[in-house]
Structures are given as structure tokens and as C-alpha cells.
Structure 1
């Protein structure tokens, strides 16, 4: 068992720490059911930690008196017993925190779990902010299971559709024409579990893959929406909206059509470069792989389309659903977890599969950006969505970009420098100009009154 000795300052800092989405503390007298409640809530959310042996602020107003300090480590056995009573087991680690008098508190760190956990009393809790809230509605628990990837919405039966929506579609005919050995639609879909094996009722995966028009058949929105904004601003206004496209159809066609429209739209986008206005160029493999990843790994239980937002200086692809299972932002390039295993598997059976290099798509996207000398894509969790930002930000330093510009232009203004470097702050940009002036590489261009710098020029 790990043990760590804390200074008095560290103890005061822990005692003052605010409870939140990732942290909680409780007095030593906490009951076993409360321990399970906190542990389950953290595991069902994003993980977190709690310390047994620090009183709540509402119970003890003086910070110095919140730390209890328990003499005997074995007194904490009830904590481990209550954690071990949970099934499935919650992934966790523990550490004893010792004060200068040799007394202890216990810190339990809970990992985000790929399973939905319940307490011994059969209640599901989830952490939201500083609260551990119960989920009693079966639909909410099912949605949590979908979000974690423990179960998948692709397996649900589509009551508004019939087997003929798959068996008689143009898409499955096209698909099976290239499949070897020769297979009938009913045999293929049954073998792949795309329809119920007894009733032939279609599953969501089957409709998404092979219905010629799945949108009207499914209760959830499941297309791709592409929006072009003529701006580089973080938050566009309505006047910046140029055009929108809604992509429907089976998944294979959605990906191909969306990629085509994105490519065509990008041809009209120009940004400031070292030679003035230049056509924006991204590695096509990067856009393709991130788009494919969004379609095959999104959470189809969330009723929303994949959003592709094209700005002057970046592309944002927003996919419904949090990262499933044990996947995190930190390990996403190495982890292998498929929320929609049927969709992933069947798409890979096409003659020219959209997910040709299974498991390597995001790695390829990052590698191509580096080859184009652009900064890597940025991946963030935004509520119940995963957003990937593909920015046209060169790997070259701002100073390099400024000097490259001045090789072909007589002077450069602050706004032009921000446009070619991707820096949003005018003051930060000034700092880079000042560094170049200190190195004797550029001189200021003054206003007619001589009181204001209006641009910069290369020093000769």
C-alpha cells in the first residue's frame, strides 16, 4: 500500500480544496453506502478521487480542524471492504496520507470505467459537478451504457423499418456484387447480425449501412451537416454564413459525398500567406480520416448530425458522443475501442473500404499534418460531443513566418501577421515584432504623425 507524508501546508491545502467534478472528501465516520455512492459516481463519469479523513466544510468551518488524522491504518479496512463488494469491480488505486504526528487519511483514486456500475443497493450514480446523482430512469441508464460503449445503439431494433429496407436496397446489391464468395442479402445480414436472427427485424446498424435512405426510418438524426463560414473568428455571426449542405444516405455514401463537398468548398477558401492571399491546403488524408472516424465511432443514440464547420483558417468536425470506454484524449492515438463494432467491421468489407487502415486513421491524420508542416489536429471533449480542430497553423515559429512574408512583401501589418501565424492576440503579436526588432531584423513603419507604429519592414 502506498504511503505519503504530507507537510502541514499540504494538509491545509487539501482541507481547503473545493469539492467538484473530480474531487470529494468525507469525514472518517462516513457510512459504507456513501463510499460506494461516490466511487460508483466517479467510475460512471470521468473518474476522480476522494479522501476519507477530511471533514466537509459545512461540518467544520475552520480549515485547520478539518483534517482528522486516524492513528491506525487498519481502521480504514471498511473502505476497501465496501469497494470490494461492488460488482463489476471498479478500477481504483489507494494511498495513505500521513501527517507529522503519524496519523492517516486515505485517498482513493477512481478511474473512468468502460462499464456501468451500481452500488450494492442496485442504484446507478453519476458524478456531475460536486454531486453524485442517482440515475433511476432505465432510459438514462441505457444512455449511459451507450455513452461508455458497454452497449451500442447500433444493436437496437428499428421498429419503423422492415427487412425489405435492407434486402431490397440498391446499396446492398452494389456491396454484394463485389463480395466473395457470392452471398444473398438475407444470409449476409443474418450472419453479420444486422437483423434479428429470428424475426429478421432490422437493427440500427443494418439500416445505417444498407438502407438507401435511412434518415426517415430512424428515430435519431444521423446525417452530416457541412457549414461554410467566411471568417476566422472563434464565434461566427450570421453574416459570415455562406452556405450549408445536408448529407443523407447510407454511411458509405455519406462519407464519400461529404468528403467531395468539403474538398469543393475548400477550393474557394483563401487566407493570408507569405505571398499574399493563398489557397488553403490541408492534407486530404487528414480530413478524410477524421471524417471517417467521426462517422464510424459516433454515438448514434444522440439525435444529432455530425457537424463539419469550415472557416477561413480551420475546419472543425464535431461528432456526437463522448469518448467510449477507457479511451481518453491522452491515449486516443494508441487505444483501440470500437463503439460500433458492426458498422466498423462491415464497412471494412467493401471492395474499397473507407476505413481501409483500421485502427490507424487518426495516426495517419496526425502524420500527414506534420508532413504538410502544419500543427497537429486538436481533439477536445465538448459536453456530449467530440470535436477535432484542423487548423491551418504552420509549425514554423511566428518570427519565421513574419520574415518569410517580408521576403516577398515590403511591409507587414499586425493583422496580416496574425492571419499567417494563427495568433489571435494583437498584443502577443506585438511581442514577436519586438523580438525581431531587438535582433536587428526589422524596423517599424510609423504613421504620418510619427506617433504610432502602423506596420513593420525588413531592415536593410
Structure 2
């Protein structure tokens, strides 16, 4: 960190990634700050500054680095590995503690889980804690029970079709055997209620219990969301239907201008192959965070691009660069299993998307924005 960068950080004050602390701060308070940053997007704690931004400094021979490392190792579960750097600033010494975004979330101290919200820390709510455990692979939301459901909420015709590929005549099974089969395949819980994954795959009206399911599609005439809205549709139902229906909507919405050249009609636009759009729809449906109940998958079509927006951040160990080379992690293994068995999962996944667009001389953009993961596909002219 250079002097001007540190000066800018101090002038901007505390925020979602910066915290000021004086030298006399208690170990418990430092542990809480570290946990909150690690459970969020990482951050920097600057020791030797008051909350108002006044430089108070720290002793130069305080053994502070050892103290910080001991807190990170002994007071935080799992242990953290922060970086510590003493820094001379305005004739005083500051201690800069850098906390990376945690790879082993969720972190806790004294049995409590904290997250960073704006310039403050607070204990994680039940839903926030659920997301942290889901990101860590400790908990899978698609195995969660959907209250007040039972076997009657399933589409038996679709179950017949699915199990016939495994030489099982579902419709001819006894009622206890039907229930046992659905329990053994993770579609029902032991007490006979539908799992989230079961309802999303084979439910009659999954959106009745899971309003966050489905896809919201919007088609704009220009390149901005303020442009004229050409079409808007909400696609609901089980995931296989959602994928097929949404792909059909995208295909019918892509304009195909053409002109006559030498007595032959030629298209003026070249689009990525439909398998690219299909993979992005499947990826959004299978890997979104269904614990975020207030948001659907959104697909926004503009004149120059299509954006696929999925609720939820990438899991702990997955980065955008890793996605491009095929590293992935299943947040919803039940959904992945059934969509794979039904032939919807492309083995090359997002790397296929990346390279198909690259062959057309363009770049696909993967990015995290807030609690969303976005894939932006240019529409090739």
C-alpha cells in the first residue's frame, strides 16, 4: 500500500471494507472484526486511528503482529491467516491488518457468527447464516423440507417418465413403495414432505410454495434498462419446463435481419449457438441460491447483449477465473443430479460458453455484484 492510497482510505472513513481501531482495542473486539470481514468480502483493519479518523498511532515495539496472529489462530474457528504490516504515516506508526475473503466460511468467535454490513458488524441472521453454511458446502438448501407439502404435490406423469428410464413403473408401485422410492431419491423427506429439490424438479406448482423459483425475462429495444420494453414474461413450473420454455422465448426474441446478396438471402447477425443460452439457463436454475427468497433468476435481453442474473454469490472455493477452466461446485446437488440424469447438464459447462463466444471474437463477462452472479453475453453483429 502506498502513502496516497492509505491517505485516501483514511479520508473516506469506515465502510464495508475498512475499520479503524485504536491501539488499546480488546482482543475480543478484534476477533469480532476479523470474523465479520472473513464472513463477508474481506477488508482492512487499521490500528492506530480513532473512529473519527484521528491518527493516534501504535507503539513500534509492541509485539502487535504476534498478538494479531494469536487472535486469528486461537480465538477464531476455523483459524484465519490475516496479513499484518506496520506503516509509517504522518510521523506515527499504524498497523494494517488485511483480512481476505474467507475460504472456509462460516467463521465464528466465542460461538457467534458476525457479518459486515456497511461500516458496522452484526450477528448473522438465520437466513444469512444459512447462506454461509450453504457456501461452505455444509448445508444444501435443495435438501431442505418444504412445509405443508406431501406426495400429492408431485406430478406423477413426470415421475413415471423419469423412472421409466430406470425400468421402474412408478404408477404401478404401491403407495408405501412410491413414498419409499421418493424418499430414497431425496425427493421426499422421511416424514413424507417434499424437499426443495423434489418440488423444483417434479412439483405440480412449485412456485406456490417457492415464490423465488422461476425466471423473469425482459426484452428491451435499446442497450439500457430505461429503453422501451418490448416483452416481459415470468416463466414458472418445474425446472425442465422452465429451461425449455425460456430457451424458446430467447430464440423467438432474437431478431434475424437479413438482406439479399447475389440472389441469396444472408443473415446480418451472427449469434452464439443455442447451446450457449441453454447452458446459462440451466446453470442459473441449478446453482442459484434458493435461500434468497425475495429474488428470481432474471434474464435481460438488450440490443447488444443478454444478461443472465442469478441470486447468490459463488461458493467459498470458486472464483471467476476458476469458472473459465471448469472448476465448479454444486450448491444444489439434488437439482444437479436430476438435471444431469435428464440430459440438461453440459459436461463442459461455463468453459464451453466462454470459448464459444471467444470463437466469435467477443468476450463473455462473468462477475459478482452484491448478492448476485451475472453472466453477460454479447449479441454478435
Q: TM-score, normalised by structure 1?
A: 0.71
Match in the other structure for 2:212: 221
Q: Which residue of 1 aligns with 2:262?
A: none
The 5-angstrom pairing of residues 18-37 of structure 1 reads 18-37=13-32
- Cross-structure match for 1:310: 301
Verify: 1:392 aligned to 2:379, yes or no.
Answer: yes
1:76-225 alignment runs, 5 A limit: 76-86=65-75, 88-97=77-86, 99=88, 105-120=95-110, 122-135=111-124, 137-146=125-134, 150-166=138-154, 169-179=156-166, 185-197=178-190, 199-216=191-208, 218-225=209-216
Where relative contact order (Cα < 8 A, 6+ residues apart) is larger, the structure is 2
For the 8 Å contact 1:76–1:106, the answer to whether it is kept is: no
- Quickly say closer, same or farther: Cα 1:331–1:48, change in 2 above 3 A: farther
Of residues 259, 270, 290, the one that matches 2:247 is: 259
1:296-375, aligned counterparts within 5 Å? 296-303=286-293, 304-334=295-325, 335-350=327-342, 353-357=343-347, 360-373=348-361, 375=362
Larger Rg computed on CA atoms? 1
Pick one of 283, 292, 296 that aligns with 1:293: 283
Alpha-carbon distance change, 241 to 113 in structure 1, aligned in 2, over 3 angstroms: same
How far off is 1:312 after superposition? 1.9
Q: 1:230 to 1:108 in 2, by over 3 A?
A: closer
For residues 412-423 of structure 1, what are the structure 2 equivalents within 5 Å?
Answer: none
The alpha carbon displacement at 1:229 in A equals 1.8
* Matched-pair contact (CA < 8 Å) for 2:85–2:97: yes
Confirm whether residue 246 of structure 1 aligns to residue 234 of structure 2.
yes
Q: 2: distance between equivalents of 1:381 and 1:370?
A: 21
Give the secondary structure class of the aligned counterpart of 2:320: coil
1:57, 1:66 within 8 Å by CA — same for their partners in 2? no
In structure 2, do the counterparts of structure 1 residues 180 and 67 end up closer, same or farther at CA, with 3 Å as the change threshold? farther
| Runs of at least 5 residues in structure 1 that lack an aligned partner in the other structure | 1-5, 394-419, 421-460
- 1-structure distance, mates of 2:165, 2:60: 70
Instruction: Please give the root-mean-square deviation of Cα atoms over the aligned residues, in Å.
Output: 3.2
Aligned counterparts of 2:102 and 2:232: Cα–Cα separation in 1: 37
How far does residue 106 in structure 1 lie from its aligned partner after superposition?
4.9
List per-residue Cα deviations over 1:250-274 (Å, max 9, x = no partner).
11121112112211221x35499xx
CA distance in 2, matches of 1:8, 1:228: 47
Spell out, residue by residue over 1:353-408, the C-alpha distance to the aligned partner (whole angstroms, 9 max, x if none): 10141xx31100011111223x1211222332222211125xxxxxxxxxxxxxxx
Aligned ranges 1:1-12 → 2 under 5 Å: none
Q: Gapped runs of 5+ residues in structure 2?
A: 260-264
Q: Which stretch of structure 1 is more off in the superposition, 146-155 or 376-385?
A: 146-155
**Whole-angstrom distance in 2 between the partners of 1:14 and 1:279:** 47
| Conserved 8 A contact 1:170-1:212 | no
The equivalent of 2:42 in structure 1 is 47
What is the deviation of 1:340?
Answer: 0.6
Q: Does the 8 A contact of 1:322 with 1:384 survive in 2?
A: yes
Q: Give the aligned length.
A: 367
